[in-house]
Amino acid sequence: MIVDFHARLSPGPGEPAALLAAMDRAGITAAAVSAGGVLGIDRLARQLSVGGRSAARADNEGVRRACLASGGRLIPFFFADPRRGPEEYRSAAAGFHGLEISPAVHGFTLGEPGVAALARIAADLGHPVYVVCLGRPGARAEDLAALAASRPATTFVFGHCGGNGLDTDGLHRLAPLPNVLAETSGAYTLAARLAVRRLGASRVLFGTEYPLQDPRVEIAKLDALGLTAAERRAVSGGNARRVLGLAAMSHV
């Protein structure tokens, strides 16, 4: 049973059918999804490279409705902008299983009060907080480490094993923090292997970053990691079910 911890639901009439079809081709049972298409790909690429802020809103309600109609295969994450304050997330959070924040999209730093406020709510609800770090002050792995150390009751997920897919220093910094897990989509095979070695298989999550990545590519990378059977069960789905509170659901 494979659970994709990080996919996106793009706007448009072809979704979520296209996502579900891609999951079927790759043998993926369920996927945690956040809103996609918040920024155009060229704008996102530029902000990843040089910085910037967008105040664009994610279609969280559209994601929630699509997940409700998926028979439990799609698991909704709320995509929040910390500079808008926590109330929108707080009021809608019961309909979601996790929270995503993105310094690349919304241009904040992890030390801002809005981030701490969202993290407090996530901890109260048992939601993991997914974040992709960047190579800029305020959004680096060391900043996530400081945030996680200050919020030990909140579970954080180090997206892509770091923003460049090869942040081995970030894995080293985050390894001592038991409330941080690493997610593997987009990461080099070396980084994914090091995540298992340094954090332990119980703190690593398989993800695809669909639609930017074909899920079958990430399955091939999972196959190449050389995991034991127990490690693979944990990374490919067991950890996600635990973190998302799905362990009691037999179909996920």
Q: Give the model confidence (pLDDT) of 113-123 as tens digits.
A: 999 999 999 99
Measuring CA to CA, which residue among 4, 128, 160, 11 is closest to residue 73?
Answer: 4
**Total count of residues recorded for the chain:** 252
pLDDT tens for 161-209 read: 999 989 999 999 999 999 999 999 999 999 999 999 999 999 999 999 9
* Phi and psi at residue 171, to the nearest 5°: -60, -40
CATH class for domain 3-243?
A: alpha beta
**Do 140 and 134 contact (CB within 8 A), yes or no?**
yes
Are the C-beta atoms of residues 123 and 154 closer than 8 Å to each other?
Answer: yes
pTM assigned to the model? 0.96
* CA 67/CA 78 separation, integer angstroms: 12
Choose among 135, 123, 20, 17: nearest CA to 73. Answer: 20
pLDDT tens-digit map of 24-74? 999 999 999 999 999 999 999 999 999 999 999 999 999 999 999 999 999
CB of 37 closer than 8 Å to CB of 56 = no
pLDDT above 90 for 10: no
Give residues with Cβ within 8 angstroms of 113, minimum separation 6: none
Query: Where do the structural domains in the chain lie, given as residue ranges?
Result: 3-243
